[in-house]
């Protein structure tokens, strides 16, 4: 039951609203009971279910699609500083880069991180593709 106090033309009314069934409400005004008919029945509230996140992509054998660090790379290897997804690659094999040049962009925790070459040289190999998920320490590019 809900209680309300109204003041109309200087007169105070104490209104109590009771049960509401089939468009008929039990209302009491200053201790006098009334049955009040409502215009229309309230519509049910529609609940929206939140979509479930999709599963991580897997290969035909069922393994997760994550680039793992390769072993035995020669020269300087630019590694992923944190796990994330490769958004773009700014270099090609054979390009000459300076230490401050961006070689790729890595998305991690909804932030875009520009990954720099770290030293001058020529791009020897690119070990990832745009859209690849990489772990921390995964080799991104090799520089000679």
What is the C-alpha to C-alpha distance for residues 140 and 134, in angstroms, rounded to an integer? 9
SS3 26: strand
Average pLDDT of the residues in 101-122: 93
What is the C-alpha to C-alpha distance for residues 144 and 142, in angstroms, rounded to an integer? 7
Q: What is the pLDDT of residue 70?
A: 54
| Residue 89: pLDDT over 70 | yes
Q: What is the pLDDT of residue 64?
A: 72
| Residue 63: pLDDT over 50 | yes
- Quote the percentage of the chain above a pLDDT of 90: 46
Q: What is the pLDDT of residue 73?
A: 47
Q: Which two tokens stand for residue 30?
A: 């200053």
In angstroms, the Cα distances linking 56 to 59, 106, 133 are 10, 18, 10
Average pLDDT of the residues in 71-82: 78
| E-assigned strand segments in the chain | 2-8, 11-21, 24-29, 32-37, 76-79, 84-89, 96-97, 102-108, 111-116, 121-126, 133-134, 139-143
In angstroms, the Cα distances linking 29 to 1, 2, 11 are 13, 12, 12
Q: Is 124 exposed, middle or buried (0-12, 13-18, 19+ CB in 10 A)?
A: middle
CB 36 within 8 A of CB 23: no
């Amino acid at each position: 039951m809900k209680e309300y106090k109204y003041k109309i033309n200087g007169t105070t009314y104490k209104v109590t609203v009771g049960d509401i069934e089939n468009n008929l409400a039990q209302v009491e005004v200053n201790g006098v009971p009334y049955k009040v008919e409502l215009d229309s029945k309230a519509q049910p509230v529609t609940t929206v279910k939140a979509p479930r996140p999709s599963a991580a992509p897997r290969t035909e054998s069922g393994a997760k699609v994550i680039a793992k660090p390769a072993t035995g790379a020669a020269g300087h290897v630019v590694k992923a500083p944190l796990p994330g997804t490769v958004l773009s690659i700014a270099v090609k094999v054979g390009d000459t880069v300076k230490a401050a040049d961006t070689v790729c962009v890595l998305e991690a925790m909804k932030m875009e991180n520009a990954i720099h070459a770290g030293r001058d040289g020529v791009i020897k190999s690119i070990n990832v593709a745009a859209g690849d998920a990489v772990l921390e320490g995964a080799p991104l590019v090799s520089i000679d």
